[in-house]
């Protein structure tokens, strides 16, 4: 598919100039800041120097006082507390966070965690989980990353005299469950200032409030920020406001002193710790990571491995990994989970290939505005990943479905401008249950409703999406020349991190680029990637290395010295112990192509 480049030109030049002078930085960097809503010195200071003092009072969240009082009552009266969480990364990190914190002052015999089985119990609070709590003497259940729609389940729990505290971040339904406390900043009656916390982030606010109420050291809370950072990255929530602060300090922990479970997973992801020469004040060498761990690493290397246990077997193993205190125990769990991740990739690749073939061979599917695809033999644990792959390939709202016991269950993924939650909600009378948000959701339905659901979903999408929206877009922050990429520019740009939704790594555009003659296709037998060595026609003295994934087919044109434009992010490449600057090329357009100008739009 051809990608449209959207260049951000709607910037007040006077504001840029004033900010440039106030911060003593060049106007390119000042432009990037203004694009992020930063227009003066104080805002820039807060952006570049995130502080835990910027976090909001947790008691601003609706029902927080009730949640804290109920936990204190359970602690003081010796009740047993069950910590219940979803089986994905956000849920398992949240459970690990609450369990680890409560363990500081509640005996291990009084707390336990519970992760529902993806296949036996499905998503969210289950009747089986409630029965487990009742049969094992748990009078209080703290639910994390799910539960906001569990109205009937909470009524059942109430009938069994079990109190629930719900900590969720998904969009509520029309009715809030009748639990002791329901913490969710997306509640219409919740005035908490920040609405984009992860499920683990809501759990973090709970233990912050509990720490304040019990007058315990706040360091016990801050020591768990590494788990919050992993949840923020893996759940793809915006890295703005509080999430930016939490992610920033969580990454500091991971890079300086990762918990045994995360260190073991990093090792299996080939981000090993190496010994550094002992400082002058110590005779012992220090263990340091051989690269700086970023949000991207958490998304692509840590998240999938932690998720793999819940996708293929038991997510409780991921919690055990995250709460492990001994390195030997953590390594054993990490090795097992890494093996599961290898199996997960095999399922993922095979099912994606089958799904793509189904679309290619079906004219109706090829020409639709959405993709709804079903195979009863597909592995339930990877259909969310497959939905993402299909969305990348065909760029349209996508739902991938498979059989789960007597129901059909599925995962939905969307494109930039389309709210897939609303589309599913429009068909809710055909569903058993569903939940999620604008870009991702889960659902289940009876087999007899599948055809009608697919028809109505496609009808809704077709009536509510423009053809223009079905063309992938690449947002470009700034057009620069290679000569603008100075050491100072790169040093300050690094401080824009952590990057993620709401604060994406800046994308730059450079024109009149030509090959130096050293570019080559790479990537195994398929040679599907392109290793670049580039310069610009107006300045041949500056040579920039780059990597363009999935662009190996462009090699012949690049090698012919045909001029082209590139969109890219500036990054550091770590290879064989060495660190080099590299351009991560997102897209290439050749100057002579007829559609080159029409596909580059200024806004």
- Tell me: do 77 and 199 sit in the same domain: yes
pLDDT-derived band at 541, boundaries 50, 70, 90: confident
Nearest-angstrom CA–CA distance, 122 and 181:
23
- Tell me: do 78 and 184 sit in the same domain: yes
Q: What pLDDT shows up at residue 54?
A: 95
Three-class HEC string of 53-87: HHCCCHHHCCCHHHHHHHHHHHHHHCCEEEEEECC
Q: pTM of the prediction?
A: 0.89
pLDDT-derived band at 405, boundaries 50, 70, 90: confident
Count CB neighbours of 501 within 10 A. 15
Where are the alpha helices (H) located in 465-544, listed in sequence order?
487-494
Question: Of the given ranges (228-237, 278-287, 444-453, 571-580), which has the lowest mean pLDDT?
Answer: 278-287
pLDDT of 481 > 90? The answer is yes
**Span 156-169, average pLDDT:** 98
pLDDT of 145 > 70? The answer is yes
Q: What is the domain-level CATH number for residue 142?
A: 3.90.1640.30
- Tell me: do 71 and 218 sit in the same domain: yes
Query: Which of 164, 198, 29 lies closest to 83, judged by CA?
Result: 164
- Tell me: do 575 and 485 sit in the same domain: yes
pLDDT-derived band at 289, boundaries 50, 70, 90: low
- Tell me: do 500 and 454 sit in the same domain: no
DSSP 469-491: GGS-EEEE-EE--GGG--HHHHH
Question: Of the given ranges (44-53, 128-137, 244-253, 568-577), which has the lowest mean pLDDT?
Answer: 568-577
**Span 118-132, average pLDDT:** 91
Three-class HEC string of 371-438: EEEECCCCCHHHHHHHHHHHHHHHCCCEEEEEEECCEEEEEEECCCCCCHHHHHHCCHHHEEEEEECC
Count CB neighbours of 392 within 10 A. 15
Q: Which residue has the higher pLDDT, 225 or 108?
A: 225
- Tell me: do 388 and 491 sit in the same domain: no
> Given 453, 470, 487, which residue is the final one in a domain?
470
Does residue 498 have a cis bond before it (omega within 30 degrees)?
yes
- Tell me: do 464 and 478 sit in the same domain: no
Q: Which residue has the higher pLDDT, 302 or 272?
A: 302
- Tell me: do 153 and 90 sit in the same domain: yes
Taking each helix axis from N to C end, the angle separating 260-268 and 327-360, rounded to the nearest 10 degrees, works out to 50
Q: Which residues contact 328 (CB under 8 A, 6 or more apart)?
A: none
pLDDT of 562 > 70? The answer is yes
Q: What pLDDT shows up at residue 287?
A: 54
CA distance readout (Å), 481 to 320, 582, 592: 49, 15, 20
Q: Which residue has the higher pLDDT, 308 or 278?
A: 308
Q: What pLDDT shows up at residue 580?
A: 85
Q: Is residue 265 part of a domain?
A: no
Question: Residues 74, 81: contact at Cβ < 8 Å?
Answer: yes
pLDDT of 597 > 90? The answer is no
Q: What is the domain-level CATH number for residue 377?
A: 3.10.310.30
pLDDT of 598 > 80? The answer is no
Radius of gyration of the chain measured on its C-alpha atoms: 25
> Given 189, 224, 259, which residue is the final one in a domain?
224
Nearest-angstrom CA–CA distance, 519 and 531:
6
Question: Residues 508, 567: contact at Cβ < 8 Å?
Answer: yes
Q: What pLDDT shows up at residue 236?
A: 87
- Tell me: do 454 and 478 sit in the same domain: no
Which pair of structure tokens corresponds to residue 554? 């462009």
Nearest-angstrom CA–CA distance, 321 and 230:
14
Q: Is residue 99 part of a domain?
A: yes
| Buried-state track 370-390, b at ≥16 Cβ within 10 A, e below 16 | bbbbbbeebbbbbbbbbbbbb
Q: Is residue 481 part of a domain?
A: yes
Q: Is residue 297 part of a domain?
A: no
CA distance readout (Å), 324 to 154, 215, 330, 338, 553: 31, 26, 6, 16, 46
Mean pLDDT for the chain? 93
Nearest-angstrom CA–CA distance, 194 and 196:
6
Q: What pLDDT shows up at residue 596?
A: 60
Q: Which residues contact 505 (CB under 8 A, 6 or more apart)?
A: 496, 497, 499, 569, 571
**298 DSSP 8-state letter:** I
Q: What pLDDT shows up at residue 274?
A: 53
**Overall number of domains in the chain:** 3
pLDDT of 25 > 70? The answer is yes
pLDDT of 275 > 70? The answer is no
The string of pLDDT tens digits covering residues 408-447 is 999 999 998 899 999 999 999 999 989 888 888 999 999 9
Q: What phi, psi does 307 have (nearest 5°)?
A: -70, -30
- Tell me: do 64 and 207 sit in the same domain: yes
Q: What pLDDT shows up at residue 181?
A: 98
Q: Is residue 143 part of a domain?
A: yes
**Span 530-552, average pLDDT:** 92
Q: What pLDDT shows up at residue 437?
A: 81
pLDDT-derived band at 270, boundaries 50, 70, 90: confident
**Span 481-491, average pLDDT:** 95
**302 DSSP 8-state letter:** I
Q: What is the domain-level CATH number for residue 552?
A: 2.40.50.460
pLDDT of 285 > 50? The answer is no
**Span 242-246, average pLDDT:** 97
- Tell me: do 147 and 80 sit in the same domain: yes
Question: Of the given ranges (128-142, 251-265, 547-561, 565-579), which has the lowest mean pLDDT?
Answer: 565-579
**Span 375-389, average pLDDT:** 93
Question: Residues 211, 218: contact at Cβ < 8 Å?
Answer: yes
> Given 194, 224, 254, which residue is the final one in a domain?
224
Query: Which of 156, 179, 194 lies closest to 60, judged by CA?
Result: 194
Nearest-angstrom CA–CA distance, 199 and 335:
26
Q: Is residue 157 part of a domain?
A: yes
Which pair of structure tokens corresponds to residue 140? 């209080």
Q: What's the residue count for the chain?
A: 603
Q: Is residue 441 part of a domain?
A: yes
Nearest-angstrom CA–CA distance, 420 and 388:
13
pLDDT of 576 > 80? The answer is no
Count CB neighbours of 393 within 10 A. 15
pLDDT of 286 > 90? The answer is no
- Tell me: do 441 and 536 sit in the same domain: no
Q: What pLDDT shows up at residue 574?
A: 74
The string of pLDDT tens digits covering residues 324-361 is 999 999 999 999 999 999 999 999 999 999 999 999 99
Q: Is residue 272 part of a domain?
A: no
Which pair of structure tokens corresponds to residue 93? 């990190």
Strand partners, 547: 531, 584
Q: What pLDDT shows up at residue 210?
A: 98
Q: Which residue has the higher pLDDT, 10 or 403?
A: 403
Domain that holds residue 126: 50-224
pLDDT of 455 > 90? The answer is yes
Q: What pLDDT shows up at residue 595?
A: 61
Q: What pLDDT shows up at residue 592?
A: 77
**Which region holds residue 499: left if phi is over 0, alpha if psi is between -120 and 50, else beta?**
beta
CA atoms within 13 A on the CB side of 268: 25
């Amino acid at each position: 598919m051809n990608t449209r480049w959207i260049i951000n030109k709607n910037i007040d030049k006077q504001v840029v100039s004033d900010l440039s002078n106030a911060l003593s930085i060049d106007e390119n960097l000042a432009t990037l800041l203004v694009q992020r809503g930063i227009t003066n010195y104080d805002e820039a200071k807060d952006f570049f120097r995130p502080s835990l003092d910027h976090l909001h009072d947790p008691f601003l969240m609706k029902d927080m006082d009730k949640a804290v009082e109920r936990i204190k009552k359970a602690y003081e009266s010796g009740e047993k507390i069950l910590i219940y969480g979803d089986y994905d990364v956000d849920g398992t990190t949240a459970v690990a966070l609450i369990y680890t914190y409560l363990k500081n002052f509640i005996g291990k015999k009084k707390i336990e965690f519970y992760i529902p089985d993806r296949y036996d119990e499905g998503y969210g609070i289950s009747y089986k989980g409630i029965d487990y709590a009742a049969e094992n003497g748990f009078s209080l259940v703290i639910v994390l990353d799910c539960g906001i729609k569990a109205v009937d389940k909470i009524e059942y729990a109430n009938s069994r005299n079990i109190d629930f505290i719900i900590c969720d971040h998904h969009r509520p339904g029309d009715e809030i469950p009748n639990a002791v406390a329901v913490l969710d900043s997306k509640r219409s009656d919740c005035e908490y200032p920040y609405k984009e916390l992860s499920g683990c982030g809501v759990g973090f606010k709970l233990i912050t409030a509990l720490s304040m109420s019990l007058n315990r050291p706040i360091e016990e809370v801050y020591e768990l920020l590494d788990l919050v950072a992993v949840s923020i990255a893996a759940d793809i929530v915006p890295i703005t406001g509080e999430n930016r602060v939490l992610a920033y300090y969580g990454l500091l922990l991971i890079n300086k002193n990762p918990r045994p479970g995360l260190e073991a997973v990093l090792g299996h992801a080939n981000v090993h710790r190496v010994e550094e020469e002992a400082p002058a004040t110590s005779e012992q060498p220090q263990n340091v990571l051989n690269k700086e761990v970023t949000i991207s690493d958490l998304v692509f290397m840590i998240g999938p491995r932690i998720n793999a246990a819940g996708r293929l077997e038991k997510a409780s193993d991921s919690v055990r990994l995250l709460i492990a205190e001994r390195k030997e125990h953590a390594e054993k769990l990490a090795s097992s989970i890494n093996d599961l991740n290898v199996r997960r990739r095999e399922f993922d690749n095979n099912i994606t290939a089958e799904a793509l073939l189904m679309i290619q061979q079906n004219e109706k599917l090829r020409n639709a505005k959405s993709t709804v695809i079903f195979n009863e033999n597909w592995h339930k644990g990877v259909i969310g990943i497959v939905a993402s792959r299909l969305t990348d390939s065909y760029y349209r709202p996508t739902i991938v479905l498979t059989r789960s016991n007597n129901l059909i269950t599925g995962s939905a993924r969307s494109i930039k401008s389309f709210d897939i939650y609303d589309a599913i909600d429009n068909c809710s009378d055909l569903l058993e249950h569903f939940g999620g948000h604008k870009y991702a959701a889960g659902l289940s339905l009876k087999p007899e409703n599948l055809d009608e659901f697919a028809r109505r979903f496609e009808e809704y999408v077709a009536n509510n999406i423009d053809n223009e929206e079905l063309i992938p877009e690449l947002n470009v922050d700034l057009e620069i020349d290679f000569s603008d990429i100075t050491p100072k520019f790169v040093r300050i740009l690094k401080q824009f991190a952590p990057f993620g939704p709401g604060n994406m790594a800046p994308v730059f555009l450079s024109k009149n680029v030509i090959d130096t003659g050293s570019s080559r296709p790479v990537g195994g037998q398929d040679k599907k990637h392109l290793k670049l060595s580039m310069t610009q026609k107006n300045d041949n003295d500056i040579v920039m290395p780059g990597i363009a994934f999935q662009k190996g087919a462009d090699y012949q044109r690049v090698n012919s010295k045909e001029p082209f434009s590139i969109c890219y992010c500036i990054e550091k490449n770590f290879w064989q112990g060495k660190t080099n600057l590299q351009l991560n090329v997102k897209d290439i357009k050749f100057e002579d192509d007829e559609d080159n100008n029409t596909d580059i739009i200024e806004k």
